[in-house]
């Protein structure tokens, strides 16, 4: 069993780096023809995982758009559910979408259909999910002073999506099984699929986005490139920094703003360094 597991992992890694889809097909075909016992069946299973890994990791640079939107939609629903629902105010929603879409058409993935919403929560935070779902909380929206600051905040979240930060976590393998073969109808009974693994994967990814956040370096990259994006489109290049500095004034010991992001002062310091380097 251990031998098969090792072989499976090796193939998985090989699929990730080589993307030899045809090679996997041939191997799987050979395995199936030699599948005379239980061990062969297990091996075929590992080959299947390896092949799916190849498909998903082909997606590490491009998980299928439909899969990305599906995962993103499910994560978005989780975010909305855990943050008090959505602020159903057409005026506010139009404003964040006009600014957000203005930025998104100049990001690295303008083909995505971005959606920008405000969460009905007094906390101060912002989130994004694969496929182009971006949310800021009502608490943050109310503290934002102007379009430049809003542009900086949305630019940061757009860059998480454009740079596929969440998708790369999926591709690293932690959530691989839940999304592998998502588009396949195999296993669907009476039109219903067994979504046990998918649910677990979405739950894990949602927890990471909602509770832990990305690692600090990923956040600093999103800060830098989000500010650059805002500047390219014509918003103040220091809009995000201004926003963070404004939040700092309101931050008290009892209320941490952007809890899933690095400390405000660290982000401000790095943004200031970027601005100095640009000038």
Partner 1 sequence: MKPKVIPILFVCVICATLSVGFEAGKTAFTTHYETALLEEPQPLAKSVATLPFAASVNITALQGHWAQVSSTNGSGWIYLGNLAGTKPFENNSVAGLQTSASATTASVAARPLDNVTAQYDDQEGLGKAADDVKWLESQSDAISNSIVVDYLKANKKGEYQ
**Where on the chain is the footprint of partner 1 (CB under 8 A)?**
58-59, 61-67, 69-70, 72-74, 76-78, 80-81, 85-86, 88, 90, 93-94, 97-98, 101-102, 105-117, 131-133, 182-183, 191-193, 195, 198-199, 202, 217, 220-221, 224-225, 228, 232-235, 278
Query: Residue 91 burial (CB < 10 Å; 0-12/13-18/19+)?
Result: exposed
Closer CB to partner 1, residue 206 or residue 257? 206
What's the min distance (Å) between Cβ of 255 and partner 1? 25
Separation between Cα atoms, residue 43 and residue 8, nearest integer Å: 8
What's the min distance (Å) between Cβ of 215 and partner 1? 9
- Dihedral sign from CA coordinates of 117, 119, 249, 268: negative
3-state secondary structure of 255: strand
DSSP 2-58: HHHHHHHHHHHHHHHHH--HHHHHHHHHHHHHT--SHHHHHHHHHHHHHHHHHHHHH
What's the min distance (Å) between Cβ of 171 and partner 1? 12
What's the min distance (Å) between Cβ of 239 and partner 1? 13
What's the min distance (Å) between Cβ of 22 and partner 1? 15
Closer CB to partner 1, residue 42 or residue 106? 106
Distances in whole angstroms, Cα of residue 30 to Cα of each of 7, 27, 44, 54, 137: 15, 5, 10, 18, 54
Closer CB to partner 1, residue 24 or residue 46? 24
Closer CB to partner 1, residue 98 or residue 255? 98
Write out the E strands in the chain: 115-119, 126-129, 133-137
What's the min distance (Å) between Cβ of 98 and partner 1? 5
Closer CB to partner 1, residue 48 or residue 101? 101
Closer CB to partner 1, residue 43 or residue 68? 68
Separation between Cα atoms, residue 65 and residue 136, nearest integer Å: 24
């Amino acid at each position: 069993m251990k031998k098969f597991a090792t072989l499976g992992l090796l193939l998985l890694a090989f699929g990730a780096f080589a993307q030899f889809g045809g090679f996997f097909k041939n191997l799987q075909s050979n395995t199936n023809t030699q599948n005379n016992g239980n061990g062969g069946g297990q091996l075929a299973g590992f080959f299947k995982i390896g092949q799916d890994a190849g498909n998903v990791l082909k997606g590490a640079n491009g998980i299928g758009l439909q899969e990305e939107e599906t995962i993103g939609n499910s994560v978005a629903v989780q975010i909305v559910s855990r943050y008090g629902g959505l602020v159903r105010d057409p005026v506010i929603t139009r404003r964040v979408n006009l600014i957000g879409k203005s930025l998104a058409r100049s990001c690295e993935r303008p083909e995505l259909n971005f959606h920008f919403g405000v969460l009905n929560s007094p906390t101060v935070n912002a989130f994004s999910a694969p496929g182009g779902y971006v949310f800021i909380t009502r608490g943050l929206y109310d503290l934002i002073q102007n379009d430049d600051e809003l542009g900086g905040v949305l630019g940061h979240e757009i860059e998480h999506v454009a740079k596929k930060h969440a998708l790369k976590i999926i591709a690293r393998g932690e959530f691989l099984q839940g999304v592998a073969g998502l588009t396949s109808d195999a296993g669907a009974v009476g039109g219903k699929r067994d979504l046990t693994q998918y649910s677990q994967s979405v739950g894990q990814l949602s927890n990471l986005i909602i509770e832990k956040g990305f690692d600090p370096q990923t956040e600093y990259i999103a800060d830098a490139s989000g500010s650059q994006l805002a500047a390219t489109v014509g918003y103040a290049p220091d809009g995000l920094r201004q926003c963070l500095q404004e939040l700092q004034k309101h931050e008290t010991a009892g209320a941490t703003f952007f809890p899933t992001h690095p400390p405000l002062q660290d982000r401000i310091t790095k943004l200031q360094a970027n601005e100095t380097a640009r000038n």
